[in-house]
Amino acid sequence: MAATAEPSTDDHAARLRRWLNEQAGRLSIFRKRPPAGLAEALEHEGHLVHELYCSGWSRWGWPEDAGGLGGPILLRAVLYDELAAAGLEIPEAFVLLETLGPLLVKYAPALAARHLPAFLSGREVWAQGFSEPQAGSDLAQLRTRARVTPDGFAVSGQKVWTTLGQFARFAAVLARTGTSQSAHRGLTMLWVDLASPGVTVRPIAAANGRAEFAEMFFDDVTVPRSGLIGSVDGGWTAAMYLLQFERGMYAWLRQAVLLRRLREAVSTADPEGAAAGPAIRHALGHALHATAMLRARSRTTVRRLSAGENPGPEISTDKALLGMAEQATFDVLRLLNWPAMALDADGDSAVLRQEWWYSRASTIFGGAIDVQRDIVAGRVLGLPRSQS
């Protein structure tokens, strides 16, 4: 698909919808996520990632000098919405794309030009190395160090809870270049080749049975100067920019998935069976309400991101609403599919179990919901701190 005049959002959505309808038969294999291991699932979804690249749809909304076709960020939001509306699974790897792609485009354009086409075409997977055993999500307490050398940096330390880390070739790693007392002012963001000597990656099995995460160890790993993202000691600024998309565009992507799950649940529920009970009707209404709130909020955020605005601390609202919608949606799906969801060995039940378990962590990963509420209360609403 050659880049022509920049499309309007509505025209772009209509064209994409027509293409998805025309390709419905060929793409039907992507309507369900395989219940096998994560490696098999990523390989399966990788074919859809490659198809969307070759057809051009995943390249819209990314700059042309980074392998994209141009146009506003909103065109990426359209892609996720239309994929879900067509009943297709949005590839899990796109979560990392939306987290790290904008970071590279903004702070490391040379890296973006090299690596973004590789990711969009399905040839690379990336990881985000932030959390640590001693610091959790408190980035100001990070202990992984990056020693400045004549040719670049030497990284030593450990990262944990790294999504898809065992499948990634490269990772954006936040490390300390300042003193141990420098807090957020002494952090630097680096692009690390995970095939480098001194890197050890170990998968972590989650409660849902999938190795969703990994821990990464760095033993004096060499990172060339070209792997610098932003500036030395400027990692905090880069991380705050990244979080806008990790919470904003990710929330939009996930609301599309949740609405698809709820639409399908309503369309297949037996109106004379358990679904007619008041408890399930109440749970379904709660889930629809929570997801509608998330969609309305994240729509505003994505439009602001596309306009080049920084939502600032208001982005914590999106993260809090996302956790609530995730859990409400999979709670009602559990009720509608009980007891098969817990006991059956078929593929649909296995996938639902995995998704329900993962939803339990949605109010913790990426910033716990209580912390997000505190940020909204203090920095957005200006409420006074408790004196107790």
Q: Which of 19, 49, 121, 54 is nearest to 11 (CA)?
A: 19
Structural tokens at position 315: 């982005």
| Whole-angstrom distance, CA of residue 228 vs CA of residue 223 | 8
Residue 160 near residue 184 (C-beta atoms within 8 A): no
Which pair of tokens denotes residue 351? 């996938």
> What is the sign, positive or negative, of the torsion defined by CA atoms of 127, 130, 135, 138?
negative
Task: Tell me the chain's radius of gyration from C-alpha atoms.
Answer: 21
- What residues act catalytically? 246
| 155 and 217 Cβ atoms separated by less than 8 Å | no
Question: What is d(CA 142, CA 186) in angstroms, rounded to the nearest whole number?
Answer: 10
Decide: residue 179, CB within 10 A, 0-12 exposed, 13-18 middle, 19+ buried.
exposed
**Which stretches does DSSP call E strand in the chain?**
126-129, 145-149, 152-163, 170-176, 187-193, 199-204, 213-224, 228-229
Question: What residues contact 305, with CB distance under 8 A and at least 6 apart?
Answer: 73, 244, 245, 248, 249, 311
